[in-house]
Structure 1
Amino acid sequence: MSKSLLEQLPEIVAKGRQEAERILESLESRHRVVLQTREMVFPAKDVVQKDWLHRPDSAFDLPQSSLLPEIQPSLNPIKPWSNRLIYGDNLLAMAALLAGDEHTPSLRGKVDLIYIDPPFDSKADYRTKITLPGAELEQKPTVIEQFAYSDTWSDGTASYLAMIVPRLVLMRELLSDSGSIYVHLDWHVGHYVKIMMDAVFGKENFVNEVIWQAAIGDTSDKNKKFIKSHDAIYMYRKTTTSFIWNDVFQEYSDASEKLYSKSDEGGYYQMVSVDNPGGGGYIYDFGYGEKMPRNGYRMPKETALEWLKRGILQVEAGKVPRRKLYKSPDGVRCRDVWTDIRSLQGNETIGYATQKPVTLLERIISASSNNDSLVADFFGGSGTTAAVAEKLDRRWIATDLGKPACMVMRKRLIDQNAQPFLYQAIGDYQVESAKTALGRKFRVGDLSQIVLQLYGALPLSPEDNPGRNLGRIPEGKTLVLVDSPAKMTGLATLKKALALRDTLLGGWDKVVVLGWNFDPAIGHDLQALNDAQLDVLVIPPDLLDRLKKKSGLEKLRKEIRFSTLQYLTVKPIQRKASGEQEVLSIALDNYVLLSPDAINLDEANRAKLQQVINHEPLALIEYWAVDPNYDGTTFRSLWQDYRGNTENDGDALRCVNQAELSVPSKTGVRRVCVRAVDVFGFESEVVQEVV
């Protein structure tokens, strides 16, 4: 007989702790998880607004640890701090933050506030809407619904809890001794997660369960129960000794306002009891023939006499004394039931399914952090936490597993003219994810064998396939090569594949290369090779996450798609001297998207997408940016445009396709990098050497 969920809880906690302990033990090893800076984002809606472009070239040749010394104070007095947006599994991101590196010290014990809004175990699939220009002139905009993420778990709530426990353990390691954590959930799994939090943080460190009146649920007659209308937010502190707390206030309700009906020179007030509600109050007499409160006075006599002197306490013969309670200009101290924050204001909706309102995070961040405190959200979603932390002068970290979510956050921060921040990813992300999915002792060859099976290829014999990454299609003479998740698939891999096609086992008609990560120039390399018998396909980026959920390979084979590459082309960049400056003229040429079959769309939405691809492929660009002095390592987006920005033109559904940048003059060749992200979160870039 299988165990009930309640019976499984001790084992779930124990295994979660063990997983977290393995991660913590690995932090000192040379194979520890690290973060790679993909981009340094300098928010600017147009080239005119910012002066970053007009700094001397030397300003951009500094290492990332010292690039922003004047922007933000540091957690370490020697190394300045940069806010960061991190793409990837938050378990790996937290491991990297705990480990630290040569640029950033470990953040263990440095985070003052964590707010997370994890999946709710709702058994629902969430979708995002993407509005694109119509496929024909004068046509209404095309709206595409894209799968965002699935809130379903292979073993139900047990596997959900197995996911959350090791993450809570690492969050506790990151929290400062005066830090606190808020976990936002609802009825689906909140009560179970609270038990997990009691185990990780200690029941004695529970502070509040906040009830927030969120969106109203099903109000139809068929709903035979009380209507669901609230979420629960669990607040815990790191230690019992102290934690950051600033009083926050709510406006008085209409009913409360009416109680303050009297006024004097001190303002509006109401008369309230001085009875001690729990009994055992102070016993004394004023000598005016007044009656004693039933439970005694709630304040000592010294306080009562002071109030009497100031006219706050009213004492009359034959009556129980009462005191004036003045209406505060700040409002009433915040209770743990929040009905005054609406779910979302119309003008702040950005189309992300689980977006939370700014006012909700303003209250939490104001209460539990100070100026320059470090705030983190490891389920970043729509980016409300980062946006509010930025607004309130807090330092911040936001992570998310989804590329669309990271794009939403990046655009949102640029839109509010945030301070420069880092966009980072997990180093060797696929390798680290594979260790999580397949065990720490996995071998790359094991993963290659799985990929071959999912593609429908049979592995070659061991003597012809020592790396265990070669296979063949059962019918015909097609060779399949699976590249390592630890490598960038580029020109060298393509040449190796062509050589194997022509020589291995007497030769093959065709070779297919399956890759995880690609050199930015891969599209141009394919064009240059111009070989019709060479195919390069992308291994589904969410494959490892699917493997973590222990789905059967046969089921996965039916669900996943290997897709063609996406790449961007840019017209030759023009460079013109203008005094001490020079002007760069950059124009996008074309964008080739991954096959629509690879994207999680239904048939109707895939057809809409194909129309846009055929008619105006550049309309699929969500964001593009320029680094006029690319060093080959860290991209610095010193100019950018994105859909929804109307500073550069009046079209909210398209990016501009051309840009002119005025930059300090430079002798010799200038290396310019153009990076684009499409509406589905796929990146591509072009590097040009401009004479």
Structure 2
Amino acid sequence: MGSHELNWEGKSRKLHIPQLKVIRKEIFQKVIEKYKRFNITGENTKENFKYWANQLILGDNLYVMNSLVEGYKASINLIYIDPPFATGGDFSFKIQLENTDNNEIKKWAYKDSWGGNITYFLCMLYPRLKLMRYLLAQDGSIYIHCDYHSSHYIKLLMDEIFGRDNFQREITWNTQSLNVAGFKSQAKNWIRASDTILFYTKSKDFTFNKQYIPRSDEFIKKHFTHEDDKGIYRITRRKNKVYLDKDPGDPVTTVWNDILSFNYVAPAQAEGLGYPTQKPEALLARIIRASSNEGDIVADFFCGSGATALVAERLNRRWICSDLNPYAIHLTKKRLLAINKLQGYKMDSYYEGFAPFSLNRLENYTQAKLKQRGLYDNKKYVEILAKKLSVISQNDSGFFGDENCPEKLYYFLPLEERLHNGKIQEIAKNAKQLGNIDSLTILIWDIEDDVYKSLKSIKKREKLSVSVKKIPFDLIEHIEDPNFVLKLYDIYAIKIGVKKTDENEIKLSIKDFSVENNDFFDDKLLKNVKNNLDLIDFWCVDYNYNNTLSNYDWYSYKFRNKIDISLISSHTYSEDGSYTILVKIVDVLGNEYLRKADIQI
């Protein structure tokens, strides 16, 4: 390790992070038994499948990486991260709704909240870099993308954690090589036109494949002016012959002028998704090609829009990516599913379609985050949620009421409990005992099961209208922010239809999407929406759900106005029997809905 280090108030060298289990929730794949490019049978894996599946993980990367250490210590060959730059800004992006008149939704991406106090930023990044060193293979490399706000601080952290001798290069990416104009050009200063990428390794024995910039047509025409029986060649200053088919081009230096950013030219814009901090695929391709080989594991723990996963996929690498934002995970998933249909940087995939990948989460993640804030054991988080909804406790019964609407109750399902048919019957019975109640809203943190039939039976039997609404995942990051508005949505707003069209064939369709009980879609947004079904962004079907892992074998989605979504799916069963169909739907804001249906073939 380095002999010097950066100190600040609050620095802690010990990691006190709960060990959470990474659990597979969903998997997207072709038949995994036929996918044999990466057979993993070594000791450094906790995979439940015989063959590798790439991983897309939702959650705070501090918890994610700590949970990966046991199974992947010293196993990841390349890490690229593009962390917040400590700018102090809020980052959001716009979602354009289809079939509407200039209707856009502004969606929060992340808050770069460390700009006002650099010590907060250092406290955030320091333990994460230490975990990355644990995960990095002995011959592995790590690239940290940053800018002038934080590069000098990060350099000192990296010297301490990875060792000053393992610093390899500081790369300058010229982000405005073709255009220095507009508002930025008016600054009374040198015009900022670059980002910094710090390149470190775990040891002196590291993977590196030298990269070259191909010769331009102009260079070839000017210099390759000779020809013999071996081909066209040029003469160097040292009078050596260099044949055109043997000339790799100019070695790439530490100043990258040839990769375009998204803001200035059409070729880059064709790839752009409007997601803040999205990086060009060409940038990731250069790094991945240089510092990994086919079959190696590439990781990005601030994956954002998913460029690292997409490029690693195309270049025949395994990958593990994570992000805190559910919409980032959703967008990455769609980019992978559409891998051969995307415009932008031209890079051939190694196969048609995508390799198997799973969507993973951390078990008991929300509880761990609440415990970290001291809000779990004392149920303080329930008080905060109740205050945000302006409801008050009903005699410590577990129910909350609205003073302006006494016949309506709210119930916060405890985090350690699961909402199943028996539980919802129990909650409804207890609610009716409190008096003349005609409406009950149950708030849940995660969707585990489809209890819609129970809601209908309760309404018929008890004359009680029960709705189940989901607390958004990103609330956990804002729960103590008094200005954060809690928005909920009805998880059963989607109506599906299941019809048997032949002896062994069924047709599944989305019939309706109700937005009446959805706080995310206000009247201003909806006034130009011609059909509520246009608000559906993605849906997928597991036609043989086993009640544990969702293994989706059909999906349809929208992507950049280039791919149309189908609202009808069909499936033919090869064997008679009883089957459970699981349907997952995602709206344009990334909110998830889950429906199930049982059929007999």
Corresponding position of 2:16: 22
CA deviation string 1:198-222 (max 9, x = no partner): 2221222111111001146664463
Q: Is the 8 A contact 2:468 2:492 kept in 1?
A: no
TM-aligned CA deviation for residue 73 of structure 1: 2.6
For residue 590 of structure 1, the aligned residue among 485, 507, 512 is 512
97 and 575 in structure 1: CA distance in 2 versus 1, 3 angstrom threshold:
farther
2:363 equivalent to 1:427: yes
679 and 594 in structure 1: CA distance in 2 versus 1, 3 angstrom threshold:
farther
CA deviation string 1:513-539 (max 9, x = no partner): 332123442445434433556454433
Corresponding position of 1:280: none
Corresponding position of 1:196: 157
> What is the letter of the counterpart of residue 22 of structure 1?
H
Distance 1:11 1:433 in 2: 24
CA deviation string 1:347-400 (max 9, x = no partner): 322332322111111110011001111000111112111111111111111111
2:76 equivalent to 1:111: yes
2:337 equivalent to 1:343: no
CA deviation string 1:56-85 (max 9, x = no partner): xxxxxxxxxx85662523262794321111
Corresponding position of 1:660: 570
How is 1:190-339 mapped onto 2 (pairs within 5 angstroms)?
190-215=151-176, 219-220=182-183, 222-239=186-203, 241-251=204-214, 267-271=233-237, 329-339=247-257
TM-aligned CA deviation for residue 501 of structure 1: 2.5
TM-aligned CA deviation for residue 480 of structure 1: 4.0
644 and 507 in structure 1: CA distance in 2 versus 1, 3 angstrom threshold:
closer
Structure 2 stretches lacking a partner, 5+ long: 263-267, 340-352
2:60 equivalent to 1:89: yes
> What is the letter of the counterpart of residue 14 of structure 1?
K
Larger CA deviation: 174-183 vs 337-346: 337-346
Q: Is the 8 A contact 2:88 2:115 kept in 1?
A: no
How is 1:563-602 mapped onto 2 (pairs within 5 angstroms)?
563-574=489-500, 576-577=502-503, 582-593=504-515, 595-598=517-520
Corresponding position of 2:390: 456
527 and 119 in structure 1: CA distance in 2 versus 1, 3 angstrom threshold:
farther
Corresponding position of 2:475: 543
Structure (1/2) with the larger helix percentage:
1
Distance 1:339 1:413 in 2: 28
TM-aligned CA deviation for residue 229 of structure 1: 1.0
- SS of residue in 1 equivalent to 2:303: coil
144 and 447 in structure 1: CA distance in 2 versus 1, 3 angstrom threshold:
closer
For residue 175 of structure 1, the aligned residue among 133, 136, 139 is 136
457 and 587 in structure 1: CA distance in 2 versus 1, 3 angstrom threshold:
closer
CA deviation string 1:613-647 (max 9, x = no partner): xx4222222111121211111111111111139xx
2:51 equivalent to 1:80: yes
Q: Is the 8 A contact 1:566 1:593 kept in 2?
A: no
566 and 337 in structure 1: CA distance in 2 versus 1, 3 angstrom threshold:
farther
How is 1:378-527 mapped onto 2 (pairs within 5 angstroms)?
378-416=301-339, 417-438=353-374, 442-443=376-377, 445-459=379-393, 464=396, 470-473=399-402, 477=406, 479-503=409-433, 511-527=440-456
Structure 1 stretches lacking a partner, 5+ long: 1-7, 27-31, 44-51, 53-65, 100-105, 273-310, 313-323, 646-650
Corresponding position of 2:265: none
- TM-score w.r.t. length of structure 2: 0.84
Q: Is the 8 A contact 1:619 1:655 kept in 2?
A: no
- TM-score w.r.t. length of structure 1: 0.74
TM-aligned CA deviation for residue 676 of structure 1: 1.4
128 and 573 in structure 1: CA distance in 2 versus 1, 3 angstrom threshold:
farther
TM-aligned CA deviation for residue 609 of structure 1: 3.5
> What is the letter of the counterpart of residue 574 of structure 1?
K
- SS of residue in 2 equivalent to 1:14: coil
Distance 2:514 2:373 in 1: 32
Corresponding position of 1:626: 541
Distance 1:87 1:688 in 2: 27
- SS of residue in 2 equivalent to 1:353: coil
How is 1:632-643 mapped onto 2 (pairs within 5 angstroms)?
632-643=547-558
Q: Is the 8 A contact 1:523 1:565 kept in 2?
A: no
TM-aligned CA deviation for residue 428 of structure 1: 2.0
Distance 1:153 1:522 in 2: 42
- SS of residue in 2 equivalent to 1:438: coil
Distance 2:233 2:475 in 1: 65
Q: Is the 8 A contact 2:233 2:242 kept in 1?
A: no
Corresponding position of 2:344: none
Q: Is the 8 A contact 2:78 2:288 kept in 1?
A: yes
TM-aligned CA deviation for residue 680 of structure 1: 1.4
Q: Is the 8 A contact 2:425 2:458 kept in 1?
A: no
Matched-pair identity in %: 28
71 and 594 in structure 1: CA distance in 2 versus 1, 3 angstrom threshold:
farther
Q: Is the 8 A contact 1:13 1:196 kept in 2?
A: no
Q: Is the 8 A contact 1:457 1:472 kept in 2?
A: yes
510 and 39 in structure 1: CA distance in 2 versus 1, 3 angstrom threshold:
closer
Q: Is the 8 A contact 1:437 1:545 kept in 2?
A: no
Distance 1:12 1:267 in 2: 62
TM-aligned CA deviation for residue 476 of structure 1: 6.3
Flag the structure with larger Rg: 1
TM-aligned CA deviation for residue 10 of structure 1: 1.4
TM-aligned CA deviation for residue 673 of structure 1: 1.8
Distance 1:406 1:74 in 2: 25
- SS of residue in 1 equivalent to 2:495: strand
CA RMSD of aligned residues (A): 3.3
How many correspondences in the alignment? 562
Corresponding position of 1:42: 29
